Structure 1
Amino acid sequence: MREICQNRDVRDLSTLPKSHLHLHFTGSLRPESLIDIAHDLGVRLPESLTDNQALRVPADQRGWFRFQRHYDAARAVVRSEASMRRIVRQAAEDDAAEGSRRLEIQVDPTSYAPFVGGITPALEIIVDEAKAASAATGVEVGVIVAASRIRHPLDARTLARLAAQYASDAPGGVVAFGLSNDERAGDTSDFAPAFRLARHAGLPGVPHGGELLGPDHVRQVVAHLKPRRLGHGVRTGEDPALLERLVADGIAFEVCPASNVSLGVYAGPSQVPLRTLIDAGAEIALGADDPLLFHSRLVDQYEIARRDHALSDAQIANLARSSIRASLASDTSKRTWLAEVDAWEASEQ
């Protein structure tokens, strides 16, 4: 990287203040923590989860099945309150080490409910630890409750009602409602009632869309779910008119370059349309998505922006500002962090 950037500014990206808005709960697990937890349970993990190699799959149904199988194998060892708290605390610690000021971590409590007495205790554990981790690390942690496209839409309504009970702007509170899993599954319009329930409780929508499927799917997500941000959304770049509309409507993009490559959407990081989104004036928040599987954390996404998209430090700083503006933090916190980005940009390299 230094050879490529030898004539440009190369400030330390781990000290750049930023927000991390696209991180999944189990997918944030440290590999060594996954191994420790599995060992304590006597569970044998697939070798592909312990070989320190980033997952690479094609962008088709078979590729998604392989990705989901890996994710499910990791999730299957999260069977206790202690392991759930460990995930939240370490996610905040890892973000703190990478200069993140704000983490919005996404979780479907349904997956962990059988081990802790139900979906309500599962969410309470996560919210409680998010509050404690915020105080301990200095990273403001917000929780995004996310429904799954592969479950019945009525389950999404149940989760939206639950999320509404814990909605709070304070660190540790539920700050948004999402929709994840394979974009090709389910009918987007069927999830609209759940998103209406969430909006009525003051929770903006942050569904996935526009990664595995293209602009037509983005239109459906926008029309039916009325998002504040799009999880990924990169395929919007294939339709300039649609992109212009979303930018005008203030819909931000959670862009996860390493994830896009690992899931076969693009052959390499330079093909991710980051500059297309930037040139259109989009608000962008770079995210790691599932670092457990993709072996690429938050700072790595900024390294990709610098190395593969030739962004200067001034442009990198603008990406960080964009991530802060796109977050659901308070205006007071945002002003503080934006001033810190200014200081980073003005600092000597």
Structure 2
Amino acid sequence: MRELPKVELHLHLEGAAPPAFVRGLSKEKHVDISGIFDARGNYRYKDFWDFLKVYEAATSVLQSPEDYRRLTLAVLEETAAHGVVYAETFLSPDFCGGRDLGAWREYLLAIQEASDEAERKMGITLRGIVTCIRHFGPEKARETAICAAETAGDWITGFGIAGDEKAGAPKDFRWAFDCAREAGLRLTAHAGEWAGPEGIRDTLAALAPERLGHGVRAIEDLALVDELAERGIVLEVCPGSNVALGVYKDFRAHPVHELDRRGVKVTISTDDPPFFHTTMTREYEELHRAFDWDEGQFRRIAKVSLEAAFCDTDTKTKIAKLLEA
């Protein structure tokens, strides 16, 4: 499973930070965040909302473009080790310069330089999706969208929204999504993880994304499942994340197999891998055990993922050759 070439579309950069990396950075900066780790040195949280607090505490030690350069290299080294040849990562100007455009450009340059280095040395290609944080509110989302629009191009290729699905309504973020759309960015939105099918319907109606982060609770409304299949809406499914956070009790209870069987375009990702004790290799192994997915199925999923990727044709052609190897 480790050797199979993979495409990952749903990866939060800060959420992929190895705990050892964050602990080391906290010592360098003399910031005490020891409370977010358990006795074994792993991230510790009680539920999804506590996870958000721990995530933001871990992110607090990332205080400069250089920190993000180092973070990007650490994350891509781990990701590439599990056979990922192409990844898209969520980036938040909220954490990279406080949504100040000038500061955001500096952070972005450092991340891109690390991405280029990783591509040369590790063979993994990375693209960025600027992401507003839902529970930070729509006004800050507007500022984030402006940062995204001003830096849209070959590397920043998408825009999305993450965070607490119960904070505000999708329509509150319509301006931010319209701004990103007008800048030529492709759109994705977290929905259908904690909120049910109505949250997905509201998100599709208000924001019109072509991909949904998670989206798995669509299974509770089979008419919605049929609609997703007919419209070709792609789901960025993160089974290990859903199990770790208690959305589903285990992989066998997860609806990814049924969604795929019903014609929905599903992809597989890790979300925030060290928080959920997962890797792309583990996701594949667990899906094989739960549903008997074989190499042919995983190669098909990788091709679906590449088709849904927010990158240009030349990049897709290059990655397609790696998937066929």
Judge same fold: TM > 0.5, yes or no: yes
Deviations 1:265-311 (A, max 9, x none): 11112111011111122222211111121121222111121112221
Provide the rounded CA distance (Å) in 2 between the counterparts of 1:286 and 1:200.
Answer: 29
Provide the rounded CA distance (Å) in 1 between the counterparts of 2:107 and 2:223.
Answer: 42
Match of 1:108 in 2: 92
Instruction: Tell me the CA shift for residue 99 of structure 1.
Output: 1.4
User: Is there any run of 5+ residues in structure 2 with no aligned partner, and where?
Assistant: none
Provide the rounded CA distance (Å) in 1 between the counterparts of 2:217 and 2:136.
Answer: 24
Match of 2:162 in 1: 180
Q: Which stretch shows the higher mean deviation, 108-117 or 315-324? A: 108-117
Provide the rounded CA distance (Å) in 2 between the counterparts of 1:86 and 1:266.
Answer: 34
Pick closer, same or farther for the CA change 1:115–1:235 going to 2, 3 Å.
closer
Deviations 1:230-284 (A, max 9, x none): 0001111211211111122121111111110121111112111011111122222
Pick closer, same or farther for the CA change 1:42–1:273 going to 2, 3 Å.
same
Pick closer, same or farther for the CA change 1:115–1:56 going to 2, 3 Å.
closer
Amino acid at match of 2:30: G
1:163 to 120, 123, 148: 148
- TM-score w.r.t. length of structure 1: 0.86
**Matching of residues 225-304 of structure 1 within 5 Å:** 225-304=207-286
User: Is there any run of 5+ residues in structure 1 with no aligned partner, and where?
Assistant: 1-12, 58-62, 344-349
Match of 2:189 in 1: 207
**Secondary structure in 2 matching 1:175:** strand
Pick closer, same or farther for the CA change 1:55–1:229 going to 2, 3 Å.
farther
Deviations 1:108-142 (A, max 9, x none): 12123159973343334333433443333321110
Provide the rounded CA distance (Å) in 2 between the counterparts of 1:36 and 1:54.
Answer: 14
Percent identity between the two aligned chains: 33
Pair 1:312 & 2:294 matched: yes
- Contact preservation (8 Å) 1:55, 1:262: no
Match of 1:79 in 2: 63
Provide the rounded CA distance (Å) in 2 between the counterparts of 1:158 and 1:45.
Answer: 28
- Contact preservation (8 Å) 2:66, 2:110: no
- Contact preservation (8 Å) 2:37, 2:43: no
- TM-score w.r.t. length of structure 2: 0.92
Deviations 1:125-178 (A, max 9, x none): 333433443333321110111001112312212211211222122xxx101001
- Contact preservation (8 Å) 2:65, 2:106: no
- Contact preservation (8 Å) 1:27, 1:289: yes
Amino acid at match of 1:291: P
Match of 1:326 in 2: 308
Instruction: Tell me the CA shift for residue 30 of structure 1.
Output: 1.4
Provide the rounded CA distance (Å) in 2 between the counterparts of 1:86 and 1:115.
Answer: 21
- Contact preservation (8 Å) 2:85, 2:322: no
Match of 2:73 in 1: 89
2:138 to 147, 153, 157: 153
Provide the rounded CA distance (Å) in 1 between the counterparts of 2:111 and 2:210.
Answer: 23
**Secondary structure in 1 matching 2:168:** coil
Pick closer, same or farther for the CA change 1:293–1:134 going to 2, 3 Å.
same
Instruction: Tell me the CA shift for residue 21 of structure 1.
Output: 0.8
Instruction: Tell me the CA shift for residue 333 of structure 1.
Output: 3.6
2:5 to 17, 38, 42: 17
Instruction: Tell me the CA shift for residue 52 of structure 1.
Output: 4.7
Provide the rounded CA distance (Å) in 2 between the counterparts of 1:155 and 1:42.
Answer: 29
Q: Which stretch shows the higher mean deviation, 35-44 or 17-26? A: 35-44
- Contact preservation (8 Å) 1:317, 1:341: yes
- Contact preservation (8 Å) 2:130, 2:148: yes
Instruction: Tell me the CA shift for residue 97 of structure 1.
Output: 1.5
**Secondary structure in 2 matching 1:206:** strand
- Contact preservation (8 Å) 1:79, 1:115: no
- Contact preservation (8 Å) 1:167, 1:174: yes
Provide the rounded CA distance (Å) in 2 between the counterparts of 1:128 and 1:338.
Answer: 24
**Matching of residues 108-127 of structure 1 within 5 Å:** 108-113=92-97, 118-127=103-112
Amino acid at match of 1:83: D
